[in-house]
Homo-oligomer: A and B are copies of this chain.
Amino acid sequence: MRLTKFTDYALRVLLLAAARDGTRTTVGMTAEIFGISEAHVKKVVHHLISAGYLSGARGRAGGFELKKDPSDINLGAVIRLCEADFGIFECMAPRGSCLISGVCALPGIGSAARDAFLAVYDKKTLSDILLPASAFDRANPSH
């Protein structure tokens, strides 16, 4: 059981944007810092811009920055936004099919477990996990 890379990267992008506090960040820079593909970062950034978490500008002076205060960015909300499939079991997905799905108690327990999982993130905002800009410095001797 694991969150998708998409969600993982979204949280990293938000942490980086918060650390750079008002200084624009580029997709290329983000990809380099985390050693991940630019294409992935681009999709994540677009998604976070659409959802109002980031503001973005195109062109040479382009890049993205945080649009909301970190204390207004709830981690549970970010996870719900980014996780496409919260099915837990196949039968809980829209196209899921299992012979016993009409009578089985597992989907109910799965929903309760998912809610308990998300409740932990719902109690946290980006401001609870802020890092200094130096944490993202590849030349930082602590890494």
Q: Does residue A100 face the partner (Cβ distance < 8 Å to B)?
A: yes
| B2 A85 Cβ-Cβ under 8 A | yes
Interface residues of A in 72-88 (CB under 8 A from B): 75, 83, 85-88
| A12 B83 Cβ-Cβ under 8 A | no
Please measure, in the bound complex, the distance between the C-alpha atom of A86 and the C-alpha atom of B106, giving whole angstroms: 19
| A99 B11 Cβ-Cβ under 8 A | no
Copies in the complex: 2
Stretch at the interface among A48-56, A61-69, A108-116: A108-116
Task: Report the interface size for chain A: residues with CB under 8 A from the other chain.
Answer: 50
Q: Does residue A33 face the partner (Cβ distance < 8 Å to B)?
A: yes
Residue of B at shortest CB range from A128?
A: B105
Task: Give the residues in chain B near A114, CB-CB below 8 Å.
Answer: 1, 117
| A100 B15 Cβ-Cβ under 8 A | yes
7 extra interchain contacts, Cβ-Cβ under 8 A, other than A1-B2, A12-B100, A35-B97? A1-B114, A2-B90, A3-B110, A8-B90, A12-B98, A104-B135, A116-B119
Instruction: Tell me the A residues contacting B by CB distance below 8 Å.
Output: 1-5, 8, 11-12, 15, 33-35, 75, 83, 85-90, 93, 97-100, 102-106, 109-110, 112-114, 116-121, 124, 128-129, 131, 135-136, 138, 142-143
